[in-house]
Every structure is written in C-alpha cells, then in structure tokens.
Amino acid sequence: MLIRKPQDIPSREITDERLFWGRREWLASIGLGLVGAAGLPRSLRAQDSLKPDSYDTITSYNNFYEFGTGKEDPKENAHTLKPRPWSVSVEGDVKNPARYSVEELFRGLTPEERIYRFRCVEAWAMVAPWLGYPLRDVIKKLEPGTKAKYVEFTTLLDPVQMPGQRRGVLDWPYVEGLRMDEAMHPLTLLVTGVYGKPLPNQNGAPVRLIVPWKYGFKGVKSIVKIRFVEKEPATTWNIAAPNEYGFYANVNPNVDHPRWSQAKERPLGQFFKRPTLMFNGYGDQVASLYAGMDLRANY
C-alpha cells in the first residue's frame, strides 16, 4: 500500500520512530505531505529559496574524528555506532536534571524541517534540509536556573563504538558550547534527521547540534550530555589549537584562519569559489547577539 492513513500505523511506530526521527517521512506516509517551514516566522522562511545539496553529498563528506580524520572515513567507519537506544544526561544549574532517553527529551515538542546553509571551517559549504527541534524549546522544558550562562554539549566517549577515540588526535570526548542567548536563538537546532530520514551515523546520530551562523565544528555530534554552566566551557578545537579556533566561531570572512583565508568558500562539488558571507548569511537574524563585541578578538 502506498498511502497509509494514521489508523493503519501502529501508535508505537508513530511515537517511537517516525515522529521523532523523520517527521517528513511520517507525514508523507499518512498522505499529508511536507509542512516544512510554513509555521515559521518570516525571517526564517527566507531559507525556502535555498537549494539543498543531495543526500549523498551531505552524508558522504563529513568531519567526525571519532571515526577517522579523512572526510570519507565517517561514512566508511561509523557503522559501529549504535544510536538507539540512546540517552542524554542533563546536568548543572537546571530544574529538571535527569538522564533522558532521546524520546523523553523531545516529548511534547514539535519537530521542524529547516533548510540551512552549512559551512565547514576549511571553506567548503553546503545546504542541508535538517529535521530537528529548536534547542530553545528543549531548554525551556528543562528550565535552567539563573546561574546558567552557557550550555555545554558532550559527545559519547566509547572507543569500542568510536574507534577513532583510541588515537589521541583530539582530547576526547568532543565538547562544544554556546552562550545562553545563542542557545536560545530560534535558528539553533538539535538535529535528529536529514532529508526526512533519521540522521545517519556519520552526521552525528541520533542527535547533534546545528548553529547555522557558525563554523561546522560548533555542531557537536552524537550528544550524550547537556550541562548548564556559569562559565564559558572549554571546547575541543579551542583546546587543540587555541590560536586557530575560538569559542565563538562565527563565520567571519574578515578573520583569516592562521593557515588559510576565509574570505571565500567553495560550494561542495563545485569548482568556483564565491565570497563568504558574514555570519554565513544569517546576519540579519543574529548580528544583534554580538553588538559591542570585537569579532576579530572573539573569533
């Protein structure tokens, strides 16, 4: 049968799989089609004009050092990761600390599809149709306290599932962080899927961060811990190379990486480079977060 009505789908299947991991697939399966960005504020709908790269492109050329340092290593090696069942420990200054299954973490929240530009620091760029939950919705549900000024995210530490962690190329586990106002910005997503399908392991299954105005390394993958803290968290790439990677990591064509220019970017799979946009093109929405900050010093 091609089109299934809601009553044809066992409720367990809806709640456990489709609703959380791939809403588009689920909506299509019950004949509703894609709602996409319809319910979003106008400022977020501008992204409708972006043309996503192919599923193959988005899932074949990745950075995920837990599975090797080559761009094609994650696709080859990430099959050892077991993203289900999965839990996320919520800690720090928060009213509802607990170890949540991913399903519990997102229960009661509405998944959305967002077509975002994505930019890796080495100057490749792509556009991906992510499925996920606005981080702000999750944070509101968890109710951080007044001392929570930053949010810290930590990747799984398990050299059996993540063989790249047997090598000391980075300080494991991978850690990233956001200032609370960045975390609460409506563009910031906890992503669980892409192209209407559950997130493939190489893209950070089952849940990863996407902050579209920042360089890709802020998008910590396979998250097992969310901690609400008072001080700016120490982050993996900043620890590894403090002169190359700052905490803020806003896409800024005017600040060169010490080893290469960031003034231009190359769309993945294309030959010609184009100028890099400030805040990756999201300046109208996010520039106010950094008013008064020197973005050359706070790179």
Ligand X SMILES: Nc1nc2c(c(=O)[nH]1)N[C@H]1C(S)=C(S)[C@@H](COP(=O)(O)O)O[C@H]1N2
Interface residues toward Mo ion, by CB under 5 A: 63, 120-121, 216-217
According to DSSP, residue 260 is labeled B
**Min. distance of Cβ 217 from Mo ion in angstroms?**
4
* Residue 221 interacts with ligand X (CB under 6 A): yes or no: yes
Q: Is 73 in the site for ligand X (CB under 6 A)?
A: no
Name which of 102, 159, 141, 285 is nearest 211 in CA terms.
285
Residue 162 binding: pick among ligand X, Mo ion, none (C-beta 5-8 Å cut-off by kind) = none
Residue 83 binding partner per list ligand X, Mo ion, none, with a CB distance cut-off of 5 to 8 Å that depends on partner kind = none
Given a contact cutoff of 8 angstroms between Cβ atoms, the answer to whether 209 and 189 are in contact is: yes
What is the rounded CA–CA span in Å between residue 165 and residue 156? 10
Q: Which phi and psi (to 5°) does residue 101 adopt? A: -70, 160
The residue within the footprint of ligand X, chosen from 66, 73, 113, 137 (CB under 6 A), is 66
The answer to whether residues 275 and 264 touch, using CB atoms and an 8 Å cutoff, is yes
Pick from 219, 214, 218, 217: nearest CA to 279: 214
Contact range with ligand X by CB under 6 A, out of 63-71, 107-115, 253-261, 281-289: 63-71
Residue from 81, 94, 120, 190 touching ligand X (CB under 6 A): that is: 120
For ligand X, the binding residue among 21, 29, 47, 63 (CB under 6 A) is 63
Residue 74: DSSP 8-state: H
Q: Are 122 and 260 in contact (CB under 8 A)?
A: yes
Query: Looking at beta carbons only, is 29 or 177 nearer to ligand X?
Result: 177
Partner from Mo ion, ligand X, none binding residue 174, C-beta < 5-8 Å depending on class: ligand X
- The answer to whether 27 contacts ligand X (rule: CB under 6 A) is no
H or E stretch covering 100: strand 98-101
Which value, in Å, is the radius of gyration of the alpha carbons in the chain?
A: 19
Which one of the spans 36-44, 62-70, 100-108, 285-293 is the region binding ligand X (CB under 6 A)?
Answer: 62-70
Least distance (Å) between residue 237 CB and Mo ion: 8
Site for ligand X, residues 186 to 205, rule: CB under 6 A: 203
Q: Is 193 helix (H, G, I), strand (E, B) or coil?
A: strand
Q: Which residues contact ligand X (rule: CB under 6 A)?
A: 62-66, 120, 155, 174, 203, 216-217, 219-222
